[in-house]
Amino acid sequence: MKNKPIIIVSGEPFSIFLEIFFKLYKLKFIKKYKYPIILIASEKLVREQMKHLGFKIKIKLIDQKKIHKNNFSNNQINLINVKLNYKKPFDKITSKSSQYIKKCFEVGLNLIVSKKSSILINGPISKKHFLGKNHLGITEFLAKKTGKTGKEVMLIYNKFLSVCPVTTHLPLKKVARELSKEKIVYKINCINKFYKKNLKKKPRFGVSGLNPHCESNYINSEEENIIKPAIKILRKKSIKVEGPFPADTLFLKKNLNKFDIIVGMYHDQVLAPMKSLFEFNAINITLGLPFIRISPDHGTNHQMIGKNKSDPASLKEAFNFLKKLNVN
């Protein structure tokens, strides 16, 4: 295969991610995929979880320093081994996995920096145990690691409708003070460029207000001082944007056909209705980084680990989306 490989960081070792990864092999989806795929994970864990779940897939160990010499085939799992100490293949999620996850990301980012790949997919992590108080989420973690703090844009993508929160993993009490017209303009402009370049489409944006019904009982509301001025600036750039709209009715069916992307002011304002509409049939794309980063839109789902009942739809959607892009 001549194309650069897609790098997959498996994320939290005790999650459903490896199960759904194995399922795409069983469905022969990965075997027929046009780009070579490299998984970064613990070889021992991969083998033990595979055995427990009843999958039989050949593993080829890859030397990260010699990737350019390998002739990759997706008939097998191409694996860069990162050691992990654990007691059971389906253990509890704790902070003991943090160094392992960090090492997996370091290996993946090193391959990106050395231009051996330009795409990174990561499995879910536990924000509580891995990130702690140092980072709000993986979106912000990767932005800091690549010197792009403040430039990251979270886009939850579905071919029918996508959403973007202007502020990401913030407590509600901090949202209002972190909003600015500059942030709104930057994020919508970034998404607009991404759609035009990669999807050959000039997208339509709908923007929500912050306050219920876009109203407040004080004069200097966020809608008047921040959101409306931002929309005015974006329209001068010939970007198709409307709003602000009340968030409680913006996701009604009659409104959804009007927009390709809905931009909200905080995380759950757009993520909750998005998941209600599409469940896990969506992917998390981070724009503003020096590479393409995608994450399936599901969590660790530790309650389902080892049960062989998890749906691989979101990971499959991530791979399908990459087929649309000219990435190599």
Query: What whole-number percentage of the chain has pLDDT above 70?
Result: 95
Domain 1-152+288-328: state its class. Answer: alpha beta
Q: How confident is the model at residue 46 (pLDDT cuts 50, 70, 90)?
A: very high
Per-residue pLDDT, 131: 64
| Arithmetic mean of pLDDT, 270-293 | 90
Phi-psi region of 9 (alpha: psi -120 to 50; beta: other; left: phi over 0): beta
| Residue position matching structure tokens 């083998």 | 47
Which of 125, 82, 90, 117 lies closest to 293 in space, CA to CA? Answer: 117
Residue 70 has pLDDT above 70, yes or no: no
Does position 327 have pLDDT exceeding 80, yes or no? no
Report the predicted TM-score, pTM, of the whole model to 2 decimal places: 0.87
**In a 10 Å sphere around its CB, with 0-12 CB exposed, 13-18 middle and 19+ buried, how is residue 91 labelled?**
middle
Does the pLDDT of residue 282 top 70, yes or no?
yes
What pLDDT does residue 136 have? 66
- Tens digits of residue pLDDT in 192-218: 999 999 899 999 999 999 999 887 666
> Is the Cβ–Cβ distance between 149 and 155 less than 8 Å?
no
How confident is the model over 43-52, as a mean pLDDT?
96
Q: Say if 1-152+288-328 and 156-282 have the same CATH topology.
A: yes
Residue 153's alpha-carbon distances to 167, 186, 328, in angstroms, are: 9, 9, 22
**Statement: residue 135 has pLDDT above 90:** no
C-alpha radius of gyration, the chain, whole number = 20
Q: How far is CA 77 from CA 21, 115, 116, 325, in A?
A: 10, 21, 18, 23
Bridge partner residues of 154 (DSSP): 286
Provide the pLDDT for residue 129: 75
The domains of the chain are located at 1-152+288-328, 156-282
CATH class of 156-282: alpha beta
Specify whether the CB–CB gap between 119 and 24 falls below 8 A.
no
pLDDT for 1 beyond 60: no
For 19-42, what is the mean pLDDT? 91
> With 60 as the cut, is the pLDDT of residue 328 above it?
no
Question: Tokens standing for 318?
Answer: 């991530």
Cis before 290 (ω within 30): no
